[in-house]
Amino acid sequence: MFGDVSRRTEVVSAPIRRLANRLTRSPARVVALGFAAAIAVGTVLLLTPAATQSGTGAGVMAALFTATSATCLTGLIVVDTPTYWSGFGQGVIVGLIQVGGLGIMTMASLIGLVLADRIGLKARLNAAAEVRTSGLGDVRSVVVGVVRTSVLIETVVASALALRFAVGYDETPARAVWLGVFHAISAFNNAGFALYSDNIVGFAADPWICVPLMIAVILGGIGFPVLFELGRHLRGHRKRWSLHTRLTVVVTAVLLVVGPLLVLVLEWNHTLQGHDWGAKLLTATFQGVMPRTAGFNSVDYAQVDNATLLVTDVLMFIGGGSGGTAGGIKVTTFALLLFVIAAEVRGEKSVTVFDRRIDPRLQRQALAVALIGVALVMVPTLVLLAGTAFDLDVLLFEVTSAFATVGLSTGITAQLPSWGQLILVTLMYLGRIGPITLVSALAARDRGRRYELPTERPFIG
């Protein structure tokens, strides 16, 4: 009898195992499924009556949009976070932000380490696809390092913010701690959710609020591989920086200067008018940093100049560092394409970056990521432009913000029709897992030919 039961169980479980093997064969696919699962769980939790202050439960679109925005670290909203969601709902949101920031597979690998004190090959591949490690042997230390780094930075920033909220704004200790924790997690994970209806506009001239948020955003957006390498360097390991770290640091530094400078110039007599020098500099710096892709705003983007919107579009599309919490096509992709253009202009046969030659296959991967990113921005913008009454500048801004998982908005998100909001939901999901899935798939796919076709050169340019 028991043998019959065992055989029947085997018959039932075999198809399930085959399906699981197919789904987990690709680490990139597992990452995509992990984020989808987190969004689904978050949506269900936000649909419960306890998640809203009214106690009647959220609408399906509000729950789905918010769960996607939180898990994908975007920050776009269709309902007001502090007034619509209850304490439980806000807790679900910040939990989804943390899960999305650490990465579904990073968290799964950590749980496996804690429970079994070991990590399997498949789990290593999945974690590597999420946190961008260079090899399998260091995944265990990287997974633990990601969690330690995240907790450390978030704790320091949360403490600074909580102290300021308590001392400077007379918040109760419990409320100050909650505000500090929520905004620290949201900032380090580049999410941009805030517990104030005007986001950070009310603190635009307060450096004790804005500076910790900017530091958290920069550290979270630069990428864990870079943070780890910089940490080893500070601890006395004077090993030469990797090309990835040098590219990320240099391009990030340039963008952190160019972005705020452009905002300062373009908004000097506009949204910055009436502020003193210090407030102007702080606000411009804050809004030059946030497109990396945090989503906090200390000015009303519905009031900024169109030129500022375009500059912000570019900064959002570039995004932050690989292996971090930022979105966009990533600064290394952008930098590599610039070096490709420079090499072509100079007539060089190979592309070199910081005395290192770049593999042609990597150049094609960068080009593929960038062009797919352009398509994912332009096609939805065209659809929304044809189907709504909004102008091109605000729609392009909204779509770029969704794709790059930024969260900045001119305020039209809640006014879009349901099908338009579903487009943004799809973009947020693709923007978060798209680059990971694409690059991992391209890197793992190596299909050779047994023969080569004749060469021919079409006209270019």
Residue 452 within a domain: no
b/e per residue, 265-301, with b = 16+ CB within 10 A? ebbeeebbeebeeebbebbbbbbbbbbbbbbbbbbeb
Q: How far apart are CA 152 and CA 326, in angstroms?
A: 18
Non-local (6+) Cβ contacts of 30 within 8 A are 23, 24, 105, 126, 129
**pLDDT score, position 2:** 44
Q: Which of 99, 97, 96, 105 is nearest to 132 (CA)?
A: 105
Q: How far apart are CA 378 and CA 33, in angstroms?
A: 26
297 touches 415 (CB < 8 A): no
- The parent domain of residue 234 ranges over 25-442
Let me know the angle formed at the C-alpha of 172 by 167 and 174, rounded to the nearest 5 degrees: 115
Residue 458 within a domain: no
Q: Where are the alpha helices (DSSP H) in 86-223?
A: 87-102, 104-116, 121-131, 139-168, 173-188, 207-222
At residue 447, what are phi and psi to the nearest 5 degrees? -105, 115
> In one letter, which amino acid is 46?
L
> In one letter, which amino acid is 143?
V
Residue 5 within a domain: no
Residue 221 within a domain: yes
Q: How far apart are CA 409 and CA 423, in angstroms?
A: 15
Q: Which of 146, 457, 193 is nearest to 323 (CA)?
A: 146
Number of domains in the chain: 1
Digitized pLDDT (tens) for each residue of the chain, 461 residues in all: 445 544 444 444 565 555 555 555 556 677 778 888 999 999 999 999 999 999 888 999 999 999 999 999 999 999 999 999 999 999 999 999 999 888 755 655 554 544 445 555 555 555 555 555 555 445 667 777 788 889 999 999 999 999 999 999 999 999 999 999 999 999 999 999 999 999 999 999 999 999 999 999 999 888 878 888 888 777 776 677 888 889 999 999 999 999 999 999 999 988 898 888 999 999 999 999 999 888 899 999 999 999 999 999 999 999 988 877 888 999 999 999 999 999 988 888 888 888 888 888 888 888 988 999 999 999 999 999 999 999 999 999 999 999 999 999 999 999 999 999 999 999 999 988 875 555 555 555 556 666 676 767 676 66
195 touches 183 (CB < 8 A): yes
- Type and span of the H or E element at 342: helix 331-346
> In one letter, which amino acid is 258?
V
Let me know the angle formed at the C-alpha of 311 by 309 and 315, rounded to the nearest 5 degrees: 110
Residue 15 within a domain: no
Q: How many CB atoms neighbour CB 136 within 10 A?
A: 13
**pLDDT score, position 9:** 44
Give DSSP secondary structure letters for 265-330.
Answer: HHHTTTTTTT--HHHHHHHHHHHHHGGGTT---SS-TTSS-HHHHHHHHHHHHH---TTSS--SS-
Q: How far apart are CA 130 and CA 112, in angstroms?
A: 16
Q: CA dihedral in degrees (417, 423, 426, 431; nearest 10)?
A: -120
Residue 357 within a domain: yes
Can you give the pTM of this predicted structure?
0.85
**pLDDT score, position 147:** 83
Residue 4 within a domain: no
Residue 10 within a domain: no
> In one letter, which amino acid is 18?
R
Q: Which of 435, 225, 429 is nearest to 329 (CA)?
A: 435
> In one letter, which amino acid is 70?
A
